[in-house]
Structure 1
Amino acid sequence: MLVRQNDWDDLRNEFSAVLFRLSYRTNQEYRSGYRGPDDEYEGDDEQRIIRSMRGWWEIDGSDVQALADPAALGVQYAVAFHQGRTRAVVQIDGWHWVAGLEGDAHHLLSVDDFLHGSQAGGCESGPLEDERWRNQERVRWAFDASPAPDRVHQAWVNEGGTEVSGMRRDTIVSVWPYSLADDQRDLVDRALRIFGEVLQARLVREFGPRDLDWLRQSLRDGAGSAEARRELGEHPERSLDPELWLKLVSKDENWHRVRDCFPSFRQPSFFRQLLRMRHRWAHFAYREQVREREIDNLRRITGLLNDIGSQRAASNVGFIRRVLETHVQRREADEAA
């Protein structure tokens, strides 16, 4: 069984979000931080968490721009989590920055008070579109918010909150389902694993009932060595290894059997291209950087997944592509500078 940072078919993946890890605050003067249900405060618990979550966070301005840009990540929601469980979710209605906060001022400053004119002296501020933040050494970000739709709240918080993977607890700010901090090799690998699982499910559904012996033998033939074939065991069709399934559909002698599963493709050349990409990134990623060829392959995978009715998988591969495109844009901007 594959070990994933989060399952690609998790319902939350439909509603990508920026995650804020809240520390537990005992200082009564601080606005920010998570406080437990036993603390004495007026008002609704979740609203207090939301006010704490909304600002001010020290984030790279280019990352905020990528979060807000529909052509980049297009993240619409923000989620607060504490001790590995989600506590609140809101819809993001606009990012704002402030520069010049000193010491613990960011803990004390209410986003609403700040935006409505009660501003700390000596600060510069503005919305995301006011790009004076690019000229500041240190900028903190907050956002306007409105209630998340019921479907979003149910997916993210539900009753008692949903679990957030331990890998997400290492940073204060992260992105779900795939983050700008994620390794490029890992992202390419995840996209191919998602695709491999869909291939496995589709081909087993098609050939399992009527031609299982052929399917098993073809998978064993693609395994290569005798040891690899033994590791597949009696049920190679249960394997989720994308390499195995890409080998099966890439072979000319198999294509006449499987092509009806992929109505948009007349030849297996695209699957061979994906197999080469998988080999390159599995074995030589130490000298690779994502470029347009990988972006284009992921775009075509997304189209194929949509064509065969795997919209949730397509959505996740599409988000990985957008993350990697943002990596490419940042690298190109750095090279130009």
Structure 2
Amino acid sequence: MNSKEFDSNAPVLDVQHLWVRYDAHTVLEDVSLQIAGPGEILGIIGPNGGGKTTFLKSILGLIPISKGEISVFGLSPEKARQYIGYVPQYNKYDYDFPISVLEVVLTGRLKRAGLFHRYSKEDKAAAMQALETVGMAEFKDKQIGELSGGQRQRVFIARALSNDPKFLLMDEPNTGLDTFMQDELYRILADLKKEMAIIVISHDVGAVSAHMDKIACMNRRLFFHDSKEMSREDFIAAYGCSIDLVAHGVPHRVLGTHPYAHGADGSTCGCGSTPLVISDLAAETPAAGQKDETKEAK
């Protein structure tokens, strides 16, 4: 890209025929995706090792691409990074280190303040606003190690928001969150999407179908249909196995009718799912006399 300035009229994300290789191993193959603007959350699901995290890092310009093009607001990933908020899958904090919640969130402003500059009043105001957004302002003086896992995750989201991003990338943000905290997370995202585009990587297929506006599957290649509904064939192509999911606004469990039996012969298909008894929202356990398909699948 030749443009050096943020272009609010350009697509938030434009990925064309992206390939990423590590030595002779292809991680991403001919991936194309465009996100026009804010207002929607794209959920990306797929098996472990399918390239999901690599895709986010490519958008951030953190890894070299082998072929293809990526632009964010008309800029190269490296130049657009200041407009992107990122919540990584693992936060490698030493929770015994004496750092407060506010100080953690302020680290999201380093790209503005610089490593050896004091934080300004503007930086502190932005950090507090981010904490307000995720409902953690009252904990600003707490040590990060004193918080629960769900509270920490909110703090790390606030850190990503502190730089006023126009595009938010989240890698497994609901890891370690209980059901209540997950609902709170998606409530926050529903508010944020009004102002920014959001991509969320998740292994929780039910949560993705319930809370995301669009779904894509990634297993080296990207399978995307610009909606929440994906065919059985798409899931087979993405996961390499059959996953019966109907994603039309209601969370469904992964079906137990699985042709590979998940390790029955000592192997695994790699889809990451566990066969469960089929149930609707009103029935969480098998009815009396119903076969336990979970046990049969083991």
Q: TM-score, normalised by structure 1?
A: 0.26
The structure with more radius of gyration? 1
1 or 2, which has the higher helix percentage?
Answer: 1
Q: TM-score, normalised by structure 2?
A: 0.28
1 or 2, which has the higher strand percentage?
Answer: 2
